[in-house]
Structure 1
Amino acid sequence: MNSLLIKNQFVLNQEKRKEFCSSFLGSWNDMTLPTEKDETYRKFPISSIDWKELGFDPFQKNSILDSNQKNSSPDLLPSQTIDEILTLVKNHLAKDFFNYVSLLNSKEIEFLICEDGLTEVDRKLVGDAVRSLVRIFYIPSGKTSQIKLNTESKHESDSLHLQTILDIFVSEKDSHVEILDEENTDEDLIQFRSVLIFTKENASLKLHHYPFGGFRSKFFLHSHLMGKGSEVIVDGVSALSKRNLKDLDMEMIHHADHTNSKISYKTIVTDKSHHIFTGNLIIPPNLKKVVAHQESFNLSLNKKARAEANPKLEVLAEDVSCTHGATVGDIDEEQYFYLLSRGLSPEESKSLLVTAFYGETIHSIGFSEDIKVGLESKVHTILVGGK
C-alpha cells in the first residue's frame, strides 16, 4: 500500500455510516435469500451452499449495525461531496441480497481519493472468518489516475469460507482512470462481489478484471454512465481450472447522450471448471448518439469444462449504434495441426494457441510491462502449467 493511498484514505464517520446504512433496512427486511429461481442466480448453485459450515446466518437481520462500531478518521472530502456520493449509491445500488450483506455487515466504509498517478491497493485477507468489505474510490475532476487493486485471500484450514465485497468507483467530470482489478483467492473461497461504477460528464473509465482462484464466485458489475460524453470500457480474462465456478454478470446503463461503452471479455476453462458470462446493455428512450458494444469470447480446453455466454440488450432509443457477439469453442484444429506440422510438440502447440487467445487483451493494458508479464504468467500457469 503506497504513501499516496495512505495519505488520501479515510473512514466514513460512524454516525454518517449508520445513517446511510439504516436507509437500506426497509428493503433489507423485505429481502429473502436468492435461489436458482431468481434470474441473476439461475446458473449459480446457491441452494447447495452450507451456510452453517461457512459460519454465516443469512437469515439473521436483527441489530446488524449495532455490533459493527469502529473508530473513524477525519474526512478528506467536503461533507457535500460525501453526501452526493452516498446519494448516488443509495439511488442506484442494485437490490441484491449480498450487496446489502456487504453494506450492513461491514465494520466500516472506506474512502480512497485517487489523484494523478498510480495508486496501489493491496487487500490481503487472512483467516476463515466471514468478511464483508465496502470501499469507495473517488477520482476528482480533471485527474488522470491509475488504480492497481489486488485482492488476495488466504485461510488456515480445509473448510470453505465466505466473503462479500462492494467496490464503488466515482469518476468526476473530465477525469480519466484506468483500473487493474486482480483477484488472487484460495481454492476454498465462496465470494459474492459487486462493482458499482459512476462516470460524470466527459469522464472515462477503463476496468481490467482478472480473477484467479476461488471455489465459487458471483460477480456483478453495474456501470452507470451519468454524464454527457462519458465512456466506460471493461475487459479482462478469466482462467479457470479444477472445479472452479465463476458467474459474471456485467451491466452497462446509459443515462446521457453521447456516451460510449464497451465490454470485451475472454474466458478459458479447463478440467471441470464452469464459467458463465452475462452481459446486459440498457439504453432508455430519447437518448442520442450512444455507442455501445458487447462481446464475449470463450475457449474450452477440456470436454468436461463449460463456458456460457449470454448477451442481453434492452435498447429503447433509436439514435444509437449497438453491437454484440459471443463465441464458445475449442482450440482451432487447423491451427493446431499446422503448428504440429511445423515441428512443435502437442504441448507447445496448445500453449502457443492459448497464449495467443488471451495475450492481446493483457498487452492492451496501460500498466507496466512487468505487471503485464506477471498476469500472463499466472494465466499460463493455471491453464497449461509453468513456462
Structure 2
Amino acid sequence: MNSSLTRNRLVLTKDRSTSFRKSLLEIWNQLELPKDSDEAWRKFPIGSMDWKELQFDPQEVRFGSSDEDTNDQMLAEETIETILTNLLKYTPKDYFAFLNLVAAPSYEIILLEEGESLFRYEEEGDRPKHSVRIFYLPKGKTAKTEIQFKTAHDSEDLHMSSSLDFYMAEDGAYLEILDRESSDLDLYRFRNVCILGFSDSHVKYHHYPMGGFRSKLFLHAHLLGKGADVTVDGVSALSGRNLKDLDMEMYHYADHTTSKISYKSIVTDKSHHIFTGNLNIPPNLKKVTAHQESFNLSLNKKARAEANPKLEVLAEDVSCTHGATVGDIDEEQYFYLLSRGLTPEESKALLVTAFYGETIHSIGFSEEVKLSLESEIKEILIGGK
C-alpha cells in the first residue's frame, strides 16, 4: 500500500501554483456566494449559515501559499501543463470549487501506479480548510485507490471544510476509487469531485460519506473520449439532524460512451438526504448508454429522503433509463422475519443490511474493507446491534 507521503505525491512549485492562481482571477472575481434561490442550493440552508462562527469571511478570501518543500519534476512538463489545463477547463464555475483553487495552501498531484494504494487525510482544528488534489492515472494503467478522509475536532463549535478532487484516467486506463469520509458532527463540508475519462478508459467511483452536520457534494463526470465508461455508486447513512445534499452529473462528449449512477441512502431520526442525478447528452452522438437510479430507505417518519432525476438527452441513438424509489421497510418482509423467530431489532437490522449490502459487496476491494464499511453503516443506523 502507498500513503499520501510516498514518492508519488507531487506538489506544484510555489512559482507554478502562484502563476496558475493568477490565471483564475478573472473567473474568481465574477463568482458570488450561492443563494437559497439558486436551483442547486434550494434545499441547502446556505442563507442561514453563520460565517462568523465558521471563522470564514466569503468576501475576504486569502490566496493560498505553501511553505513546504515542493517537487513536481517527476512528471513531464507537457503532462503538468495538460493537468493544469484540464483543471481550469473542467472545474465547475461554482464559488466553492474555485475557493479551493484560490485558497488551498498547495496543489497536490498523486501519480497513481499499477495495483492498490491507500491515501489518508486528516483535518484538525476549527479553522476553515481548503484542498486541491489531482489523482492522475497514465495511459493503459490499472489502479485501485482507497481514499480516507477524517476530521479531528475537540470543541462544540461548527467548522468548515471544502475540497476539490480530480480523478483523471488517460486512454485505456482502469481506475477504481473508494472514497470514504468520516466527519465529526459539527462539520460543514463542501465538495467538488470531477472525473475525467478519456478514450477507452474505465472509472468506478464508490462514495461512502459518514457523519458530518451539513454537506454539499457536486460530482461531475466527463466522458471525453470514444469508449469511455464511468460508474458511480455508494451509500449514505444518516442519523441525528444530518443533512447531505448530493448533486451528480454525467456529461457525454463522445460516441460509444457508457455511464451509470446507482446510489442508495438510509435515513433515520430527523436526518435529510437529497439526491439529484443529472444526465447530459448533446446532439449527434451515437451509441451512448446511460443509466441512473436512486434508492432511498427511511427508518423514521421524521426522516426525509428525496430523489430528483434529471435528463437532458438531445441525441437519438442512445439508450437511457432512470428510476428512483423512496420508502420504508417492507412490512411483509418484516413480519415474515418476526414469524421465523427473529426479534424486532434483528429483523430490522437484517432488512437494512440487505438494502445496502449488495452495493458494498460489488466494490472491487478486500473483504476486510467491505466489512469495515458495513460496520460503520450499522453503527450509525442501529447502534452496531
Pairwise same-fold verdict (TM > 0.5): yes
Q: Which residue matches 1:142?
A: 140
Change (3 A) 1:286 1:354: same
Separation in 2, partners of 1:246, 1:220:
11
Matched residue SS, 1:51: coil
Write out per-residue CA displacement over residues 325-357 of structure 1, whole angstroms, 9 at most, x where no aligned residue: 000000011111111111111111111100000
> Which of 119, 122, 125 lines up with 1:121 in the alignment?
119
Instruction: Report if the CA contact (8 A) 1:124-1:153 is conserved.
Output: yes
- Structure 1: 5+ residue runs without aligned partners? none
> Corresponding residue for 2:172?
174
Distance 1:377 1:151 in 2: 17
Give 1:74 shift: 3.7
* Closer, same or farther: CA 3–96 of 1 in aligned 2, 3 Å: closer
The letter for the 1-side match of 2:49 is: I
Secondary structure of residue in 1 paired with 2:53 = helix
Deviation at 1:296, TM superposition (A): 0.1
Instruction: Decide which moves more: 12-21 or 332-341.
Output: 12-21
Deviation per residue, 1:274-333 (Å, 9 max, x gap): 000000000001111000000000000000000000000000000000000000000011
243, 255, 258: which one aligns with 2:256: 258
Distance 2:208 2:35 in 1: 27
**Matched residue, 1:72:** 70
Q: Tell me, what secondary structure is at the counterpart of 2:140?
A: coil
Cα 1:106–1:162, aligned 2, differ >3 Å: closer, same or farther?
Answer: same
2:13 matched residue in structure 1: 13
Root mean square deviation of aligned Cα:
1.3
CA contact (8 A) 1:147 1:178 kept: yes
Aligned ranges 1:280-319 → 2 under 5 Å: 280-319=278-317
Distance 1:2 1:234 in 2: 24
1:30 is matched with which residue? 30
Aligned counterparts of 1:181 and 1:230: Cα–Cα separation in 2:
21
TM-score w.r.t. length of structure 1? 0.97
| 2: CA distance, partners of 1:229 / 1:240 | 36
Q: Distance in 1 between matches of 2:4 and 2:84?
A: 23
Give the residue type in structure 2 aligned to 1:297. F
Q: Which residue type is aligned with residue 314 of structure 2? A: L
In the alignment, what sits opposite 2:59? 59
- Structure 2: unaligned runs, 5 residues or longer: none
Distance 1:70 1:22 in 2: 20
Query: How big is the shift at 1:71?
Result: 3.7
Aligned residues: 385
Shift of 1:30: 1.5
The Cα of 1:252 is off from its aligned counterpart by 0.3
Return the offset for 1:2: 2.7
CA contact (8 A) 1:114 1:137 kept: yes
Q: SS state of the match for residue 23, structure 1? A: helix
For 1:214, the equivalent position in structure 2 comes to 212
Counterparts of 1:221-300 in structure 2, within 5 Å, are 221-300=219-298
Match of 2:94 among 74, 96, 110: 96
Aligned mates of 1:302, 1:24 — CA distance in 2? 46
How many Å separate the matches in 1 of 2:65 and 2:8?
27
The secondary structure found in structure 1 opposite 2:309 is: strand
Deviations along 1:153-196, one digit per CA (max 9) or x if unpaired, are 01121100001000001100111011000000100000101101
Q: Which residue matches 1:201?
A: 199
Shift of 1:122: 0.4
Segment drifting more, 165-174 vs 339-348: 339-348
Counterpart contact for 2:64–2:104, Cα < 8 Å: no
Q: Distance in 1 between matches of 2:108 and 2:90?
A: 19
**How far did 1:145 drift?**
0.1
Deviations 1:126-177 (A, max 9, x none): 1111100000000011111000000000112110000100000110011101
Q: Which residue of the partner structure matches residue 79 of structure 2?
A: 81
Q: Residues of 1 paired with 2:43 and 2:366: CA distance?
A: 37
1:23-64: CA deviation from partner (whole Å, max 9, x where unpaired): 221121122211110111010001111000010001114xx3
Identity of aligned residues (%): 60
CA shift at 1:68, angstroms? 5.2
Measured in 1, the distance between the counterparts of 2:219 and 2:64 equals 29
| Residue from 368, 371, 374 that aligns with 2:372 | 374
Is 1:269–1:305's contact at 8 Å kept on the other side of the alignment? yes
Moved segments of 4+, more than 3 Å: 66-71
